[in-house]
Structure 1
Amino acid sequence: MLTLTLLVGLLPSAFAASSQAFVAPSTSPFVASSNYVGVSNSTLPAPTIVKGQAFDRFIQIWLENTDFATASSSSTFQTLAKQGILLSNYFSTTHPSQPNYVAAAGGDFFGLADDNLHNIPANVSTIVDLLEAKSISWASYQENLPSNTFTGLNFASKNYVSGSGTYTYYYRKHSPTVSYLSVQNVPKRLALHRNFNDYVADLAANTLPQWLFVTPNIVNDAHDTTIDYTSSWLNYWLVPMLANANFNNNRTLILLTFDENSSSSINNQVYSLLLGGAIPASSKGTTDSTYYTHYSTLSTVQSNWGLGCLGRQDTNKTVSNVFSLVASKTGYKNTNVTTIPLTNKSGTIKGPLNPSNLGPWTAPNTAAVCAGGGSVFV
């Protein structure tokens, strides 16, 4: 096993999932790590809490490229499911990885069908605009991000798994907001893309924001490894966080999901759990079979805080149902979707980021009805 680990650790990150043995990146998830290039950039200011109807903090943790059945087979995921709500009808939007992250930030993936570096025009709005319009704090925590000003495609750092050479642990394609120039070109917004040493500092200071997106590195998220490896990471990182009041209190809702499945021959169902103190005891260990997609992360946040919307797929009622736990508190009426759309094919959507099927940058639908009752952000 040691020989295999050393060899695999030297392979490029595009290599298929492999059986590396889990190595923790730090002595504890609460301790800064020399395996991350950057030291903490000091802590964020303490947020002013904007009350929501169902939760006051929303945390998304995205893992990579795993079929629903594979995740279901993991004892770690089975144990976590007993602490939360299994979303048994949650689907990704397309293949490959990057368009799913882009969609979760901007309400569309604009035809994107690759993982190359893209900069989306500055007049295209995102969830950041909606949050800031209501003074809701936010940040994106990317595990091996070298600095909070880095906008490159990827970054290699010390291979702490093999102990030899370097490994490309950070990929921009897994950072949902930084592809948008409306975020990237604003220094204050760009600075809110932070690495896990920043996270440790913010957690200790109790200054985590109200909306946060968490991306493990390329081995911890199962992209270059296996469900067993990411299960070990969850036991190392997430399980202790669930018991930490600065991360999870009775007003915290956590979504643990995958960007996409690994099989384009079947529909793009991904294993997804709702966790956190905002879930009533009576709902723990239950299953919600409502049809959801990554666009539901937008509509759910909008509904909870009474936000505006983006006037894109976040207002398409077929693909943007609000998590039932939240809809029951806000009075939002979900759509009963009986025929699940097929989202397992890549490159089929016309758009400005699809060179094989080009389309224009379209304006938001200003007549759309927002899940939060606000207006379309323009």
Structure 2
Amino acid sequence: MASPALALIVGTLFAQTARAATAWRFEPPSTSPTEQSGNYTGFSNDTINDTEVVEGKVFNRFVQIWLENTDFDDARTTPAWENLTSRGLLLSAFHGVTHPSEPNYLASIGGDFWGLQDDDYYHIPENISTVVDLLEDAGVSWATYQENMPTDHFYGSSYTSHNYLNASAEDYTFYVRKHNPLGVYDSVSQNKARQGRIRNFNDFANDIVNGSLSQWMFITPNMVNDAHDTTTDFAAAFIEYWLFPLLEDERFNDDGTIIVLSFDENETWDVQNHIYTLVLGNGLPEDLVGTTDDTFYTHFSLLSTVQANWGLKNLGRNDVNTTMSNVFDFVARETGFENTNVPEDARPLLNISGFAGPLNSESYIPFYAPDDLTAIGAGGQGVFVSDSLDTSVTYGSLGESTNLTSIDSQSPWIVVEDKSEAKVAVFAKEGNGAAPVTTNMLAAVSAAVIIAAAVYL
């Protein structure tokens, strides 16, 4: 009889072979990125009205487009991506911050990935701040656009819809919430004034036609167009269909626009988390087009670069970690920010997961405030602190972590869907069943953790 380890290896190889054999062929989901499509679920019935512009020091619009799970060399050496690279500034030392996908997305929004080491269905309490708080504090508009998300601020973990790639095939799960980081943070997804800014691609088409796109945008293609279920060449075909026309559209790409096209993590987990990241847009200085910047950057640099440009406050987390949050060099030079030289042999290992945190059941601690509330970030400002945040509970004050799995429980921030009533609720594991989280359910956790956790539950 084969050993469990051998069976796992054989099963993994079989799954990879089956996936590789899938004959994916790119088909555009719409006639153009500015046209709404019936291949998505429902048409947009409103538009945001972002016509006011807060002038930045280097750019006036910052667009992030995230793709999936590809090694740096695999992305840059294919013909389609070589052509793409020639049109922008290659950030040749850009890195994801951990594995798997979801924690990387969360880190780019909140400055931390909270110990998360899986792609499960979590939420983060409303007193934990994000880049949205920083932007709104300065009057900078924002929105996120999620391809194949069925409705604005849809809260489900995924959505399965008509397979527009193959009319005879079964419906396909094109949308997943783990790639929609603003949907995970309660301060955004549970705030009625903000929910309408968690939008889909039909909304994008509506917004661009109405000339009302935001100044900060986070864009996630669906599970085939982002290369997660396909290949980098497939994703390149999507970029040619969707992004290339928009590069010629001044409603999207005017003289103040910077576009960051990046992958979330690399595919090979046992090496450094080195990912392909390209800066495009008419706001990029012409002398940088077709060149390379070898400064050490991570996903936290996406936060610090925006902070430097608009003079924003900071989150007091890894966005002020001087090793991890270098500002894009062309922005640092214009804003007077001094980056840190991080030689290759001194760079932290960024392929490690399993840190203690509130989303890690094996090494659980409650959510925490920044350790240093006096930190000055790349924007020259101090830390933004939510009025509801207990600043006495910091990472450094929590002591040892607790293994919730050893007491048959899990992070209290897990979410499950009640599909029968189309609602969502927060659940923790209790025996073989599930029940809404209460303080009593966490009684097996040490008293110190209970006291700290009560502030956030």
TM-score bracket for this pair, using the shorter chain length:
over 0.9
**Structure 2 partner of 1:22:** 26
Aligned partner of 1:116 among 117, 120, 123? 120
- Counterpart Cα distance in 2 of 1:16 and 1:199: 32
- Counterpart Cα distance in 2 of 1:280 and 1:142: 29
Q: CA deviation at 1:61?
A: 0.2
- The superposition leaves residues 196-234 of structure 1 with CA deviations (integer Å, 9 ceiling, x where unpaired) of 011001111111000000100000000000011001101
- Residues 320 and 73 (structure 1), Cα distance of their counterparts in 2 relative to 1, 3 Å cut: same
- Counterpart Cα distance in 1 of 2:92 and 2:20: 26
Aligned partner of 2:166 among 162, 168, 172? 162
- Residues 18 and 226 (structure 1), Cα distance of their counterparts in 2 relative to 1, 3 Å cut: farther
The alignment covers a number of residue pairs equal to 365
- Counterpart Cα distance in 1 of 2:71 and 2:175: 23
Aligned partner of 1:344 among 343, 347, 351? 351
Query: Does 1:128 pair with 2:127?
Result: no
- The superposition leaves residues 244-295 of structure 1 with CA deviations (integer Å, 9 ceiling, x where unpaired) of 1001011000100000011101110000001001111111111000000000
Counterpart mapping for 1:99-248 below 5 A: 99-163=103-167, 164-248=169-253
Identity of aligned residues (%): 50
Which has more helix, going by share of residues?
Answer: 2
Q: CA deviation at 1:177?
A: 1.1
**Structure 2 partner of 1:355:** 361
**Structure 1 partner of 2:432:** none
* Counterpart code for 2:81: F
**Structure 2 partner of 1:250:** 255
* Counterpart code for 1:323: F
**Structure 2 partner of 1:296:** 301
- Counterpart Cα distance in 2 of 1:110 and 1:201: 35
* Counterpart code for 2:283: A
Do 1:17 and 1:225's aligned partners in 2 also have CA atoms closer than 8 Å?
no
Q: Secondary structure at the match of 1:356?
A: helix
- Residues 156 and 16 (structure 1), Cα distance of their counterparts in 2 relative to 1, 3 Å cut: farther
Q: CA deviation at 1:308?
A: 0.1
**Structure 2 partner of 1:327:** 332
Q: CA deviation at 1:301?
A: 0.2
Query: Does 1:272 pair with 2:277?
Result: yes
**Structure 1 partner of 2:375:** 368
Query: Does 1:314 pair with 2:319?
Result: yes
Q: Secondary structure at the match of 2:81?
A: helix
Counterpart mapping for 1:281-292 below 5 A: 281-292=286-297
* TM-score, L = length of structure 2: 0.78
Uncovered stretches (5+) of structure 2, i.e. residues with no partner: 1-14, 386-457
Q: Secondary structure at the match of 1:100?
A: helix
- Counterpart Cα distance in 2 of 1:169 and 1:331: 42
Q: CA deviation at 1:41?
A: 2.8
**Structure 1 partner of 2:430:** none
Do 2:273 and 2:351's aligned partners in 1 also have CA atoms closer than 8 Å?
yes
User: Which deviates more from structure 2 when the two are superposed, residues 122-131 or residues 33-42?
Assistant: 33-42
- Counterpart Cα distance in 2 of 1:80 and 1:125: 35
Question: Comparing both chains, which one has the higher relative contact order based on Cα–Cα distances under 8 Å and sequence gaps of 6 or more?
Answer: 1
